[in-house]
Chain A
Amino acid sequence: MGLFLQLLVRGLITGSLYALLGVSWGLIYNTTRTFHFAHGFVYAITAYVIVLAMNLTLPLGLSIAIGLAAATAAGCMLEYFIYLPMRRKSAAQLPIFLTSLGVMFAGQSALHLVFGPDTMPLQAFSEEIFIVGPVVFTNKDLVALIGASALIGLLFLFLRMTKAGMMIRAVSSNPEKAIFIGIDSRKIFILVFGIGSLLVGAAAFLATLDTPATPHIGLNAILMSFIVVFLGGVGSLPGAAIGGFMLGIVESLIILVLPTEYKIVVTFLILFIVILVKPEGLMGEKSS
């Protein structure tokens, strides 16, 4: 029982990060239908920027701000200089995805070339360990869980309460009709890339508190991002959030019965079964 609780808490913590990743990518995908693989590169570059800023002995708050600014800028630039011109040339999904894949790989190789293959730990603050009954966790875990959940909550509030948020929802649900009520979808796309990248940057910071940065961290991030989105259901951000928490918990609890190496296999199996039974995802809209 003690182990179960401990694993459950661990699952919640990783799950919150998966959920944040999923929501950040899902926001971009639902609105723009861009298979933004380079999201993983935005993730990696944010982690590096924050670690480097801290190494320059900048204060933590400033380092985070610089990191998030870099993430937002990177996302917007990708949209403005790469995806937008391609969409204008009416490029299909596939070429846009392949370009994004190229950005991801060139980017991760560039990080490797410049900073070397070694891990770069983030010394944000000293670790404190809390023990509550059978459950052990650290202050970093707490920051990750609360930070990720709060950001997801804020995003939902933003989408429901603000005018910009409603415009984003209008464009995601019907891009053609949004034009008729005077919404410039190009601006919305850039906005969405900005917000999505800001969120993935935050996820990168929260994850790097615990796991050091390497040139390849982006890959797992993007993989989890879109597994969570498709699991939860395309078009449904709450679906992505729930999918993220669920995946984190299942992945963690599975250790009770299987060795850790099989974590990814289980993830895939879950995905496979969900797609088989309910192709539109757990909370997705059924498309006609």
Chain B
Amino acid sequence: MEYLSHIVNLALFYVALTVSLNLILGYGGMASLSHAAFFCIGGYVSAIVTLQLSANFLVGVALAIAMTMIIGGVLAAPFIRVKEEYVLLFTLSFQMVVYHLMMSMDAITGGDSGIFGVPLPEILGWSPETPTQFLPLMAAVLVLVYWIAFKVTRSPFGRVLKGCREDDSAVSSLGKNVLRFKVTIFMVGTGVAAGVGALFAHYTQFINPSVGSLDASILIIAMVVLGGTANLMGSAVGAILLIIIPEILNFIPGASDLIVPLRGAIYGILLIVFMRFRPEGLIPEYFHLGKGEKKDGLTQKAKGSDETVTRKENSKDAQVPQCKVVLEVSGLSKAFGGLKAVDDFSISLERGKVTALVGPNGCGKTTAFNLITGFLRPDTGKILFNGRDITNFSAHRMPQSGLVRSWQDVRIFKEMTVLDNILIARQNQPGELLSQLFFMPWKVKQEEAQNLKEAYTHLKTVGLLEKQMELARDLSYAEQKLLAIARMLASEAWILLLDEPSSGVDPNWVDHFMKMIRNLALSGKTICLVEHNLEVVRGVSDTVYFMAGGRKISQGSFEEVMADPELGEIYFGV
């Protein structure tokens, strides 16, 4: 009986640990190879604190969580900043370092043999002395872990995180600081792992480096992958299966010596088989979609969306451009090596007007876009938005100040629902801050209701309301482009920079796009577009800038620019 309870406890520990790694791996898209190390650090910190200071175990657990989060965040941030692969580099090296330190710092960690006599958990005089007595406590902790995980992932925060997993640049183009989201989720995941590790040390009254080895980290990864990345219920399935299998091996006579390598072989093979043939795991992320079931009862809310939507009046209005020229770019230059991609380029965008950039391929239009939107730093030049200098703003600050771009290659979040694609674009969301999410949930809820209303308006504008619950990857190409426009609208930016809005779209749709762009300008938006289709340029633009060789060659109305015979030569080679 006690043996059975112990196995159940063990399984629950691993479920909690797997959920915490799933936050980092499944939602954050970062493979952490040091999860067991963080678990183990938690155990050691709490063991040392409670033994040396004879503090209550809760103090130990709290300190373990805090310290590990700080270590995790501070050490991981520089690596996360660079690229996805660097996270592997960091976590693997960190795993090795921690393991070696635990083994060699005898005075503090007890070396190979670890620390014995860690006090049992004690809550108001009650101590669970047997595994069976511990079970309810463990179950409660697991519920808490699940609550945190659900709260974090099914929120505006989780939405942005899913976006980052797919496309970092698209997320920053919508005004989100990608690094902050990734580091935060990494810290939350490691914090939970450390808390669980601390509890584990108190439960077994013992901690040694063996639970913090690289093999243990791989085991947790295998659990996440087996259950299904970014599915929290899957984590329970994965963890329980992988705890039970080796326990069964115990009953096979003569196998006991081989348990360790056998386990390793099983985990390894499961990783290969699942990643190769069923990467979504036993329970896929969106297993509930497409079964006629809609998520979170949003359908009802959708029905109510026909009501007139009152526009949200918020502090944003302070930024409503007052002057006629909203964006003033002067003397912008950028060189790549010896090539001057953009050379002394100036443009001014007026409120309610559509400006088109035309020119042959490679003339620097897209580079100019990247410079204006902060994705590239200009070598020289100045960008004034509403009189304010935004030249050196990083990409994610542009939408916050009211300037948003679209992408030539659309870059919607294909693995997210149409609705989420819109919601993610909303600016300054309280729900994107964990502090607000946990301590001011009512504010988040209120904001989210408002967001939904707004999102429905934009979906209606582009005619995608019916498809709100579909995954964006299932839309047609034209619909994806519409979604990208709706996403820009949802950001409530005043200036829209459209990169080839009509390219690759069926001619029947082109008229639709042109009408939409004109309507946007009429509603007061300032629009700048890069476009190859001269019909579109003629149809929508008030001013045309002609670029060649990184420089502006001429400017004026469509007819004026096209009348210049020199331009025809550059563009068409006639």
| Interchain CB contact under 8 A, A223 and B92 | yes
Q: How far is the CA of A264 from the CA of B214 in the complex (A)?
A: 15
Contact string, A259-270, partner B, CB cutoff 8 A, digits 1/0? 101101101100
- Selected contact of A98 from candidates B31, B78, B82, B376, CB within 8 Å: B31
On chain B, the residues within 8 Å of A110 by CB distance are 261, 265
| Interchain CB contact under 8 A, B264 and A288 | no
On chain B, the residues within 8 Å of A98 by CB distance are 31, 221, 225, 271, 275
In chain B, residues 495-547, which have Cβ atoms closer than 8 Å to a Cβ of chain A? none
Contact string, B74-86, partner A, CB cutoff 8 A, digits 1/0? 0100110110111
Q: In this complex, what residue of B is CB-closest to A86?
A: B276
| Interchain CB contact under 8 A, B100 and A109 | no
| Interchain CB contact under 8 A, A35 and B261 | no
A166 → B minimal CB distance (Å): 21
- Selected contact of B269 from candidates A35, A102, A112, CB within 8 Å: A102
- Interface status of A97 (Cβ within 8 A of chain B): yes
| Interchain CB contact under 8 A, A82 and B272 | yes
Q: In this complex, what residue of A is CB-closest to B270?
A: A102
Q: How far is the CA of A107 from the CA of B376 in the complex (A)?
A: 44
| Interchain CB contact under 8 A, A95 and B96 | no
| Interchain CB contact under 8 A, A279 and B78 | yes
Q: Which residues in B have some Cβ–Cβ distance to A below 8 Å?
A: 25, 29, 31, 75, 78-79, 81-82, 84-86, 88-90, 92-94, 96-97, 100-101, 103-104, 214-215, 218, 221-222, 225, 258, 260-265, 267-272, 275-276, 279, 336, 376
| Interchain CB contact under 8 A, A99 and B86 | no
- Interface status of A219 (Cβ within 8 A of chain B): yes
- Interface status of A113 (Cβ within 8 A of chain B): yes
Q: How far is the CA of A64 from the CA of B406 in the complex (A)?
A: 57
B257 → A minimal CB distance (Å): 9
Q: How far is the CA of A86 from the CA of B272 in the complex (A)?
A: 11
A-B contact pairs, 13 of them (CB 8 A): A93-B85, A94-B29, A97-B31, A99-B275, A101-B221, A102-B267, A102-B269, A106-B264, A109-B264, A223-B93, A264-B100, A271-B89, A288-B376
On chain B, the residues within 8 Å of A105 by CB distance are 215, 218, 264-265, 267-268, 271
With A95-B275, A102-B271, A275-B79 as known contacts, state yes or no: A113 contacts B221, CB within 8 Å: no
A277 → B minimal CB distance (Å): 9
Q: How far is the CA of A22 from the CA of B132 in the complex (A)?
A: 51
- Selected contact of B97 from candidates A102, A264, A275, A276, CB within 8 Å: A264
With A113-B262, A268-B97 as known contacts, state yes or no: A82 contacts B86, CB within 8 Å: no
On chain B, the residues within 8 Å of A271 by CB distance are 89, 93
B234 → A minimal CB distance (Å): 15
Q: How far is the CA of A226 from the CA of B82 in the complex (A)?
A: 15
Q: How large is the interface on A (under 10, 10 to 19, 20 to 34, 35 or more residues)?
A: 35 or more
A45 → B minimal CB distance (Å): 14
B25 → A minimal CB distance (Å): 8
- Interface status of A150 (Cβ within 8 A of chain B): no
A82 → B minimal CB distance (Å): 7
Q: Given contact pairs A102-B268, A106-B265, enumerate 6 new A-B contacts (beta carbons under 8 Å).
A: A105-B265, A106-B264, A106-B268, A261-B103, A262-B104, A275-B90
On chain A, the residues within 8 Å of B78 by CB distance are 272, 275-276, 279
Q: How far is the CA of A280 from the CA of B267 in the complex (A)?
A: 34
Closest 4 CB pairs of A and B: A106-B268, A102-B271, A109-B264, A105-B268
Q: How far is the CA of A97 from the CA of B87 in the complex (A)?
A: 12
A35 → B minimal CB distance (Å): 6
On chain B, the residues within 8 Å of A109 by CB distance are 261-265, 268
Q: How far is the CA of A35 from the CA of B79 in the complex (A)?
A: 16
With A101-B221, A227-B89 as known contacts, state yes or no: A261 contacts B268, CB within 8 Å: no
With A93-B84, A272-B78, A275-B78 as known contacts, state yes or no: A99 contacts B276, CB within 8 Å: yes
